[in-house]
Amino acid sequence: MLKSPLQIARSAYKPKMPVALNGFVRLEEGEKTQSVADQEEISKLFPNTYGMPIIHMVPGEKPDNIRVNVGVILSGGQAPGGHNVICGLFDGLKKLNPENKLYGFLGGPSGLIEHKYTLLTEDIINEYRNTGGFDIIGSGRTKLEETWQFDKGIEICRELDIKAIVIIGGDDSNTNACVLAEYYKQKNVGIQVIGCPKTIDGDLKNEQIETSFGFDTACKTYSELIGNIQRDANSAKKYWHFIRLMGRSASHIALECALQSQPNICLISEEVEACNYTLNDIVDQIVNVIVARAEAGLNFGTILIPEGLIEFIPAMKKLIQELNDILANNEEFVSLETNDEKRQYVKGMLSPDSRQVYRDLPKGIAMQLTLDRDPHGNVMVSQIETEKLLIEMVAKKLAQLKGEGKYKGKFSALNHFFGYEGRCAIPSNFDADYCYSIGITATHLIAAGKTGYMALVNNLTAPAAEWKAGGVPITMMMNMERRNGKLKPVIQKALVDLKGKPFLYFKAHRAEWADANTSYIYPGPIQYYGPSEVCDLPTQTLLLEKGKIE
């Protein structure tokens, strides 16, 4: 594989690890656990994996000969550090017994069902240490939810003598991991399933899981780009930059980037929903800042827009919910040939309020909401160009104000979308260290015979040596939610907490960032070498949440 000088240097980087993971571990079990909500339903659906205790790992002795083959799956969107989870798994397994084998299922969960796999060797692993991307085995979004799929998994595990499957994924993929673990335990087939918390979106977190991996690197990458744009804006002083940021649902990425770069405006979807804002309210808020800055002679600025915004505007949310219910397994809809027929069909089925909202949307956006769903039934928000929609609406409103003599500035806007630019970046030290530790932790859970657990590494604002490792039962994170028109057990998504410190810090400062000549911060690129306070810094979100900064 061709490598840049930085990649060559990074292959030799030795991830820092919690002291407890340097040698072998002993598992200490805490109290029995409960799901975050809907305990009765979840406990009935997961009779074999519900209520297990949280696990803490402390230094211990080498366990007796653990001979175990493991299969690993990368699931969902790429996130920096995924390769290091696999490297940690590989090293951990070989340390337990050099005969242990690690198989990678290719192309995501479908690799398990279709029996597409590769044996991961030392040479392959060494090529991928501390690199971004998921290309070592590829990823995919196939949903594991049907028993025939689980049974295909049993077949291949028997053939390869695999005793444990590790699923590296976000909330949906770890929900699958939990369902699979329950099924295999119920069938008593001797296959353990362990999950690992991945997603750049940062929404797979809770009291135990402090952050998902990849969030750190992705936010630092986007913040560098936002900082560069801000410096350009402040130099040329002629453009308003509308920057949409990835994050399917929650606004953690937008918020973290705002904390790192201090833009003039950052929209937070969760606030939009809580305040019941309409699209017009949002446009008015943006226009107010643009007009105020124009009065001070500042016809430029930056606006961060979370990718999931559209789904959080209450009227849009209702519309999407209705669309999901109408479209779920709807063969009549699928049989319609043209987009116009589909639009007419959908319109006829919507409630009067939602029909009005649907009618008012630009055709392209209405069609995106109608047609594109991922395998989990989610609207593919990364395809919806909210930043362009907002530019159009803001320009219209400003033109109207100009006509009324209430705005004398010049509005020239540029749109950007940062998503794929950050998902495969070379992992920051934080993600490289965190992911490797997650991989090692997963091997210890496997060695101890655990199933239905997510590998846990926390205390992440301390130096890596002081991080703590363990496991958390996946059922503990679950609640019942409506998906594809049906109530399903799923891991509860962590949205931005409007009472949480990161949002409150942002709220306390945003007026000053909006008005000022410039409050911009230019974070610059991720640093891989140099002083620890520059290279190992966790996100502002984590530092604020843990009270490390005020």
Residue from 81, 88, 153, 247 binding ligand FBP (CB under 6 A): 247
Ramachandran assignment for 473, one of left (phi > 0), alpha (psi -120 to 50 degrees), beta (any other): beta
Smallest gap from residue 515 Cβ to ligand FBP (A): 31
Q: Does 311 bind ligand FBP (CB under 6 A)?
A: no
Q: How far apart are CA 242 and CA 282, in angstroms?
A: 13
Smallest gap from residue 374 Cβ to ligand FBP (A): 6
Q: Does 170 bind ligand FBP (CB under 6 A)?
A: yes
Residue from 77, 140, 409, 427 binding ligand FBP (CB under 6 A): 77
Query: Smaller CB distance to ligand FBP: residue 203 or 271?
Result: 203
Asked whether the beta carbons of 477 and 491 are under 8 A apart, the reply is yes
Q: Which stretch binds ligand FBP (CB under 6 A): 198-206, 293-301, 424-432, 437-445?
A: 198-206
E strands of 198-283, at which residues? 240-245, 265-266
Smallest gap from residue 386 Cβ to ligand FBP (A): 12
CA angle 400, 401, 407 (to 5 degrees): 140
Q: Does 246 bind ligand FBP (CB under 6 A)?
A: yes
Smallest gap from residue 168 Cβ to ligand FBP (A): 10
Residue from 307, 322, 387, 431 binding ligand FBP (CB under 6 A): 307
Contacts of 378 (CB under 8 A, 6+ apart): 248
Smallest gap from residue 314 Cβ to ligand FBP (A): 21
Q: Does 201 bind ligand FBP (CB under 6 A)?
A: yes
Residue from 174, 199, 269, 443 binding ligand FBP (CB under 6 A): 199
Smallest gap from residue 169 Cβ to ligand FBP (A): 7
Query: Smaller CB distance to ligand FBP: residue 245 or 289?
Result: 245
Smallest gap from residue 170 Cβ to ligand FBP (A): 4
Q: How far apart are CA 358 and CA 183, in angstroms?
A: 41
What's the DSSP call for residue 140?
E
Q: How far apart are CA 234 and CA 228, in angstroms?
A: 10
What are the angstrom distances between the C-alpha of 426 and each of 139, 310, 322, 460? 17, 30, 40, 20
Contacts of 370 (CB under 8 A, 6+ apart): 323, 327, 342, 343, 346
Q: Does 140 bind ligand FBP (CB under 6 A)?
A: no
Q: Which stretch binds ligand FBP (CB under 6 A): 75-83, 152-160, 274-282, 531-539?
A: 75-83
How would DSSP label each residue in 323-341?
A: HHHHHTT-HHHHH--SHHH
Q: Does 381 bind ligand FBP (CB under 6 A)?
A: yes
What are the angstrom distances between the C-alpha of 246 and each of 78, 291, 308, 428? 12, 28, 8, 18
Q: Which stretch binds ligand FBP (CB under 6 A): 7-15, 74-82, 98-106, 113-121?
A: 74-82
Asked whether the beta carbons of 304 and 226 are under 8 A apart, the reply is yes
Element (H, E) at 224: helix 215-236
Residue from 264, 382, 429, 539 binding ligand FBP (CB under 6 A): 382
216 catalytically annotated = no
Catalytic position from the list 171, 201, 203, 216: 201
Which amino acid is residue 13, in one-letter code? Answer: Y
Q: How far apart are CA 230 and CA 268, in angstroms?
A: 20
Number of H helices, E strands in the chain: 23, 16
Q: Does 491 bind ligand FBP (CB under 6 A)?
A: no
Q: Which stretch binds ligand FBP (CB under 6 A): 3-11, 41-49, 199-207, 487-495?
A: 199-207
Q: Which stretch binds ligand FBP (CB under 6 A): 8-16, 194-202, 266-274, 526-534?
A: 194-202
Residue from 15, 18, 71, 76 binding ligand FBP (CB under 6 A): 76
Q: Which of residues 403-462 bind ligand FBP (CB under 6 A)?
A: 423
Smallest gap from residue 419 Cβ to ligand FBP (A): 6
Q: Which of 32, 85, 57, 33 is nearest to 448 (CA)?
A: 57
Total residues contacting ligand FBP by CB under 6 A comes to: 14
Q: Which of 375, 368, 377, 371 is nearest to 325 (CA)?
A: 377
Residue from 102, 106, 200, 369 binding ligand FBP (CB under 6 A): 200
Query: Smaller CB distance to ligand FBP: residue 241 or 423?
Result: 423
Q: How far apart are CA 460 and CA 171, in angstroms?
A: 20
Smallest gap from residue 294 Cβ to ligand FBP (A): 33
Q: Which residues are part of the catalytic machinery?
A: 201
Residues that bind ligand FBP (CB under 6 A): 76-77, 79, 170, 199-201, 246-248, 307, 381-382, 423
